[in-house]
């Protein structure tokens, strides 16, 4: 049932722009005020009246009746209240009939969204610094999928640059193939760190590294064999971690993929008179001087990140004809993307407006920022393993006879880490702390997962939902709050997609879990009259279903028992 349409249709006046009113309809912050509200503050300037006066006039123009039971103007808001029983019946039936598709729609049908995220570096560790980027991208990917978009997940691998020359030098001098086969990226990191320490007293190593990277560029057989070996070792390891995080990609086209696709971009820029020479380098200058020139080719002919990102943009537009291309990358790269998008605009690419930098904060250690060359990193796999071990310890203490302890510990531990980094706004910096991320109380992943398990436990105690349903059993503050939140879920998914903000979903599912747990402690289910019991079981079923759906958008699984 479209409650917003019911509200708009009830307004018996042509003095208001009903499309504008429809967009203003929201759920009140205080559920006791009603089921929906129209805040009138944005109307005040245009109508040259105070919000309170507009609210009074608007409320007086509403015709109640049927499911719309009451309307009131309060402090600049028009609050709408629906018939409790009919409202609850319709919301819960809609949710349960839709099943796992509740909240999803096809608004994005026929549209394509490319999402560039994670972008791991070959031969470098998958550390905590990659977690926020990877978790955000994965969640945004699933959220857009839920809205019917064709989504292309792209892992723009960091697989080009002089660091590979350094790694070849390090491998040939100090590498042990058997050790690297056994320890994977950790073995590569050790020799990479050693290179930088040795370089301090032996600067000729830098020249040797540049020579080996030139050999890669020139197609030298030994150089390419080692380059591909490092890549294979890295992808094998990160794929294992991606599987644990429930992350997948549709493309692994990285920087090296665009090696032969950059020159046509440079040629087009030159043909259009946009490419200038500055101290031997090739740059694009901006007329308003609000940004420094975009450097696309060094004086020695070497290309840069910007050159490859330009080539990637053209390739993605041609290959996928995207409606949006999102770059989930830390805010440190704000200037980089502003320059890229502006250059595309100057080239006459109308689709530059569809390129969006989804900026996010940085993750640092309590002891400072992470650095691979300095060896100061926290491997993400170690964090996940620690979280899982902690979850298992709690299970052993609280429920040692629980079946499937290993799987549940994995679901809870990994879920706790993911939920922890997705709970706050993406733009906020995060100082990583084991104590905070692995806190299993409060507004956390395990708390929400336990709410889902609690929903399941009620059915074990009470049996299935019978035919007799008395919706008056839901006419209390706790049940009304849950029904209102369940009705709101489809809009939550839309809002999250619009803002590129998974924390909208994360905070919502905490609110829903808290509302359900309050109901659980305040009201009986088992032992109530049959109709009331069944109504509350219906509420429980819909709650569990929406909790599981919301967590799945975040990449988090829901154990049946905990």
pLDDT at position 434 is 65
- Residue range 201-215: average pLDDT? 90
* 168 and 122 Cβ atoms separated by less than 8 Å: no
pTM for this entry: 0.90
- Residues 323-360 have pLDDT tens digits of 999 999 999 999 999 999 999 999 999 999 999 999 99
Mean pLDDT is lowest, of 191-195, 235-239, 298-302, for: 298-302
CA dist 497 and 144 (Å) reads 6
189, exposed or middle or buried, with CB in 10 Å at 0-12, 13-18, 19+? buried
Average pLDDT, the chain: 92
CA dist 49 and 43 (Å) reads 8
Instruction: Count CB neighbours of 361 within 10 A.
Output: 17
What confidence tier does 16 reach under pLDDT thresholds 50, 70, 90?
confident
Instruction: Please check the confidence at residue 30 and state whether its pLDDT lies above 90.
Output: no
What confidence tier does 29 reach under pLDDT thresholds 50, 70, 90?
confident
Share of the chain above pLDDT 70, in %: 96
8-state DSSP, 42: G
What b/e readout covers 34-58, taking b as 16+ CB neighbours within 10 angstroms? bbbbbbbeebeeeeeeebbebbbbb
pLDDT at position 32 is 79
- Residues 528-550 have pLDDT tens digits of 999 999 999 999 999 999 999 99
Instruction: Please check the confidence at residue 4 and state whether its pLDDT lies above 90.
Output: no
What confidence tier does 441 reach under pLDDT thresholds 50, 70, 90?
confident
pLDDT at position 369 is 52
pLDDT at position 479 is 94
pLDDT at position 11 is 93
- Residue range 23-39: average pLDDT? 88
- Residues 444-497 have pLDDT tens digits of 999 999 999 999 999 999 999 999 999 999 989 899 999 999 999 999 999 999
pLDDT at position 143 is 98
pLDDT at position 371 is 53
Instruction: Please check the confidence at residue 438 and state whether its pLDDT lies above 80.
Output: no
pLDDT at position 459 is 94
Instruction: Supply the residues annotated as catalytic.
Output: 124, 127, 130
What confidence tier does 508 reach under pLDDT thresholds 50, 70, 90?
very high
CA dist 452 and 464 (Å) reads 17
Please name the CATH architecture into which domain 3-82 falls: 2-Layer Sandwich (3.30)
Name, in order, each residue with C-beta under 8 angstroms of 77's C-beta and a sequence gap of 6 or more: 28, 33, 37, 38, 39, 40, 55
Residues of the chain with CATH 3.30.1360.70: 3-82
CA dist 21 and 47 (Å) reads 13
- Residues 62-84 have pLDDT tens digits of 999 889 999 999 999 999 999 98
- Residues 241-289 have pLDDT tens digits of 999 999 999 999 999 999 899 999 999 999 999 999 999 999 999 987 7
Nearest to 426 by CA among 199, 82, 74, 137: 137
- Residue range 33-54: average pLDDT? 92
- Residues 158-189 have pLDDT tens digits of 998 888 999 999 999 999 899 999 999 889 98
Instruction: Please check the confidence at residue 366 and state whether its pLDDT lies above 90.
Output: no
Element holding 242 (H helix, E strand): helix 221-245
């Amino acid at each position: 049932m479209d409650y917003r349409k019911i509200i708009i249709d009830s307004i018996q006046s042509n003095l208001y722009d009903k499309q504008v009113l429809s967009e203003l309809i929201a759920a009140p912050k205080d559920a006791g005020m009603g089921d929906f509200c129209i805040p009138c503050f944005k109307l005040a300037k245009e109508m040259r009246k105070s919000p309170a006066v507009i609210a009074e006039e608007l409320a007086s123009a509403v015709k109640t009746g049927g499911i719309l039971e009451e309307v009131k103007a309060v402090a600049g808001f028009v609050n709408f209240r629906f018939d409790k029983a009919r409202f609850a019946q319709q919301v819960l039936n809609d949710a349960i009939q839709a099943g796992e598709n509740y909240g999803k729609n096809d608004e994005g049908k026929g549209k394509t969204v490319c999402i560039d995220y994670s972008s791991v570096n070959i031969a470098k560790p998958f550390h905590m610094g990659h977690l926020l980027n990877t978790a955000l991208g994965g969640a945004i990917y699933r959220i857009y999928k839920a809205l019917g978009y064709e989504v292309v997940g792209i892992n723009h691998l960091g697989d080009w640059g002089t660091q590979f020359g350094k790694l070849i030098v390090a491998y040939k001098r100090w590498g042990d193939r058997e050790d690297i086969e056994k320890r994977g990226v950790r073995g590569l990191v050790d020799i990479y760190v050693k290179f930088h320490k040795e370089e301090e007293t032996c600067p000729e190593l830098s020249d040797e590294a540049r020579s080996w990277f030139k050999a890669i560029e020139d197609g030298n057989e030994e150089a390419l064999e080692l380059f591909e070996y490092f890549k294979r070792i890295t992808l094998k390891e990160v794929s294992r971690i991606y599987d644990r995080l429930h992350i997948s990609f549709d493309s692994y086209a990285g920087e090296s993929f665009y090696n032969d696709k950059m020159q046509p971009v440079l040629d087009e820029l030159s043909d259009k008179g946009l490419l200038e020479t500055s101290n031997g380098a090739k740059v694009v200058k901006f007329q308003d001087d609000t940004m420094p020139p975009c450097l696309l080719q060094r004086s020695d002919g070497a290309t840069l990140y910007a050159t490859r990102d330009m080539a990637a943009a053209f390739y993605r537009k041609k290959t996928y004809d995207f409606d949006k291309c999102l770059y989930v990358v830390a805010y440190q790269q704000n200037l980089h993307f502003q320059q890229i998008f502006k250059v595309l605009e100057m080239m006459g690419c109308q689709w530059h407006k569809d390129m969006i930098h989804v900026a996010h904060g940085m993750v640092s250690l309590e002891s400072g920022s992470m650095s691979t060359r300095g060896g100061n990193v926290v491997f993400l796999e170690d964090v996940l393993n620690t979280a899982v071990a902690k979850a298992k310890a709690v299970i052993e203490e609280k429920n040692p006879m629980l079946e499937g302890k290993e799987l549940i510990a994995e679901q809870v531990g990994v879920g706790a880490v993911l939920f922890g980094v997705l709970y706050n706004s993406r733009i906020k910096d995060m100082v990583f702390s084991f104590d905070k991320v692995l806190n299993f109380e409060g507004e956390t992943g395990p708390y929400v997962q336990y709410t889902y398990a609690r929903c399941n436990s009620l059915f074990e105690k009470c049996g299935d939902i019978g035919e007799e349903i008395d919706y008056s059993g839901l006419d209390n503050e706790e049940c009304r709050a849950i029904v209102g939140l369940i009705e709101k879920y489809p809009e939550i998914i839309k809002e999250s997609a619009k803002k590129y903000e998974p924390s909208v979903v994360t905070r919502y599912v905490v609110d829903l879990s808290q509302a359900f747990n309050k109901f659980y402690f305040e009201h009986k289910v088992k032992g109530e009259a049959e109709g009331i019991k069944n109504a509350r079981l219906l509420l429980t079923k819909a709650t569990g279903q929406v909790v599981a759906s919301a967590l799945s958008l975040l990449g988090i699984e829901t154990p049946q028992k905990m």
